[in-house]
């Protein structure tokens, strides 16, 4: 608990620093909301003056004469109504300004976090759970700017407190000093509360992110959890963290429950002292009854600013934790630098050169080492290798999802690191083995919002051998596929994913076992269609293809085969040449052909649509 308290004490200064960021970015809205809050505070103090004036000039004379003049009643009514209207204007300005400022900062920060996510390389994402990233962009952003809501009120109530204290001294110096004796007690209670509560609030915010991480992981892996019968264990894992969050929140609630009554009682005690001492001063003629009423009422007003500042400080622990977690994302290193070179080579197939490529996930354990090869425009190259030979990693390097530790990837004579942002994606497409589909229509999943005509969509589906089952859907291209495409089979999802890449007419198409869920006959038609039907434009040669392959039929369609072994190219040539001269290669492809996971089965990835 000692560390938590230390964090709590430091969070006050850090909390004001976070607010300073928001004020610098939204100065005009902050000024408007603060002026509204000051107006509210000033008019709240004016209520005390109106009450005191009415007591001295209307109420007491009425007791003495037994009559109340109509003019006096109208004056009192006008004063109270005027103050109430102006105070309402202040409330509207304060709340509207605070809301706009808070939501603008949240939107601005979410956009910045999202841009940073997109700019960071895949290796950074692989080190951070999805649940944590969601928490950064959602709950942490909300927590970071949470204190903006009470900020204008706190600033305005400070002004209200200064005005009220000045009015108390003007009314009666002695009674003001008596009333202000309660201030040290109120301040002490607030300080004790902050020191006790801030550390636990910090822990609660951290636990919210951890609960989010566990929940997302469990939901994302629901199929694994259910098929392996791990529901009780996952429930227990989530329950343990949720119960810890519950216990911390309850502890914070207990602290608040103990100190809120104390904060509320102290001003009442001060009012009693003022009234008791004020009666003696009125009886002695040293003060008027209106002054006593004014000071007592102002004292109740003065206690509110102190409590409102306490509410602001109470938001700081969550704010500081949230802001630090967001800043950790925004300050993360590893952003990919880009050059300014445009894509070259027209619209025909791209030339690919890989020179001395090296990459490692773990220091001193290279996965790929000194990899060198070239692919001529319009040619098809198959990558074949055992599990963990680096095939999928190579595809991520070719598409620059990650950068190599050594060497370079060159497309049409330009290092991909020298291309301007968006240029590589405009001419290179990767189709991974795991097809991800959005909860959208067929058209939406293929175009992803790009301006692509239906004719081009159907052509892409035809080459991907997906036009038949899409045409059979009740709504065709407008059929919704459900979350992750749950209404389709695995092979159908892969063909939609392939059509998504083809519709962009890539000059270099990379398939990472992208047809593993379709049967060999359909796969053969797809690859034949890619070789003959995928052209970048009228009169252009077909796209250059790099295919991670396992099946003999697929490999045989390639112009050249690269056999990866131990992170290097062990051999290269046509499929027939490698089978004849390389026993290691022959054993590998024959083993794949006998493996049911790769050989395919009749009907696997067929045309059925699950509903």
pLDDT (tens digit per residue) in 580-601:
888 888 888 887 665 544 444 3
pLDDT band at residue 6, thresholds of 50, 70 and 90? very low
CB 386 within 8 A of CB 548: no
**Among 325, 391, 339, which residue's Cα sits nearest to residue 592?**
391
Q: Which residue has the higher pLDDT, 299 or 460?
A: 460
pLDDT for the residue numbered 568: 85
Instruction: Please determine, for residue 283, whether its predicted confidence score (pLDDT) is greater than 80.
Output: no
DSSP letter for 66, please: S
Distance between CA 400 and CA 414 in Å, rounded? 13
Q: Which residue has the tokens 């919002």?
A: 449
Burial of 16 (0-12, 13-18, 19+ CB in 10 A): middle
> What are the distances in angstroms from CA 379 to CA 408, 411, 446, 559?
20, 14, 25, 6
Mean pLDDT of 129-143: 78
Domains of the chain: 2-330 (1.20.1560.10), 352-599 (3.40.50.300)
- Model confidence pLDDT, tens digit, residues 422-441: 888 888 888 887 778 887 88
Q: Which residue has the higher pLDDT, 3 or 465?
A: 465
The model carries a pTM of 0.65
């Amino acid at each position: 608990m000692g560390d938590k308290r230390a964090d709590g004490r430091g969070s006050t200064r850090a909390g004001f620093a976070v607010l300073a960021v928001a004020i610098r970015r939204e100065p005009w809205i902050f000024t408007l909301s603060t002026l509204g809050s000051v107006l509210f505070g000033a008019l709240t103090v004016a209520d005390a003056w109106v009450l005191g004036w009415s007591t001295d000039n209307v109420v007491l004379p009425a007791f003495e004469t037994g009559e109340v003049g109509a003019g006096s009643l109208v004056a009192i009514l006008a004063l109270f109504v005027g103050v109430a209207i102006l105070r309402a204007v202040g409330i509207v300005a304060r709340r509207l300004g605070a809301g706009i400022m808070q939501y603008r900062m949240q939107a601005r920060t979410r956009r910045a976090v999202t841009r940073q996510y997109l700019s960071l390389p895949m290796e950074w994402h692989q080190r951070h759970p999805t649940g944590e990233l969601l928490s950064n962009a959602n709950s942490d952003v909300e927590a970071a700017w949470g204190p903006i809501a009470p900020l204008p009120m706190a600033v305005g109530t400070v002004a209200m407190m200064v005005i009220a204290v000045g009015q108390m001294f003007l009314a009666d110096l002695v009674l003001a000093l008596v009333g202000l004796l309660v201030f040290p007690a109120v301040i002490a209670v607030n300080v004790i509360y902050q020191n006790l509560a801030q550390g636990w609030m910090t822990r609660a915010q951290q636990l919210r992110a951890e609960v989010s991480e566990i929940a997302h992981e469990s939901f994302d892996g629901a199929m694994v959890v259910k098929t392996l019968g791990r529901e009780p264990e996952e429930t227990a894992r989530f329950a343990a963290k949720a119960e810890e969050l519950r216990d911390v929140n309850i502890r914070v609630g207990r602290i608040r429950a103990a100190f809120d009554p104390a904060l509320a009682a102290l001003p009442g005690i001060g009012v009693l002292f003022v009234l008791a001492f004020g009666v003696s001063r009125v009886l002695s003629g040293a003060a008027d009854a209106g002054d006593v009423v004014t000071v007592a009422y102002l004292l109740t007003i003065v206690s509110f600013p102190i409590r409102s500042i306490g509410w602001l400080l109470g938001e700081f622990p969550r704010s500081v934790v949230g802001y630090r977690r967001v800043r950790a994302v925004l300050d993360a290193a590893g952003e990919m630098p880009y050059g300014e070179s445009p894509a070259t080579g027209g619209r025909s197939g791209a030339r690919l050169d890989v020179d001395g490529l090296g990459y490692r996930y773990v220091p001193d354990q290279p996965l790929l080492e000194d990899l060198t090869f070239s692919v001529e425009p319009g040619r098809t190259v198959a990558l074949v290798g055992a599990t963990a030979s680096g095939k999928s990693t190579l595809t991520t390097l070719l598409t620059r999802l990650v950068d190599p530790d050594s060497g370079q990837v060159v497309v049409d004579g330009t290092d991909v690191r020298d291309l301007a942002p968006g240029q590589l994606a405009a001419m290179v497409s990767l189709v991974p083995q795991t097809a991800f589909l959005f909860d959208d229509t067929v058209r939406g999943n293929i175009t992803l919002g790009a301006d692509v005509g239906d004719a081009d969509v159907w052509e892409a589906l035809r080459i991907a051998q997906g036009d038949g089952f899409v045409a059979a859907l009740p709504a065709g291209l407008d059929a919704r596929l459900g979350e992750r495409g749950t209404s389709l089979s695995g092979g159908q999802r892969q063909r939609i994913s392939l059509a998504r890449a083809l519709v962009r007419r890539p000059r270099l198409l990379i398939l990472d076992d992208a047809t593993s869920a379709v049967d060999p006959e359909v796969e053969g038609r797809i690859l034949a269609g890619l070789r003959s039907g995928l052209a970048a434009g009228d009169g252009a040669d077909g796209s250059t293809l790099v295919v991670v392959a396992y099946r003999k039929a697929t490999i045989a369609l390639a112009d050249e085969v690269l056999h990866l072994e131990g992170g290097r190219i062990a051999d290269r040539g046509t499929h027939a040449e490698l089978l004849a001269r390389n026993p290691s290669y022959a054993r590998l492809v024959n083993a794949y052909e006998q493996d049911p996971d790769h050989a395919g089965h009749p009907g696997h990835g067929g045309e059925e649509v699950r509903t």
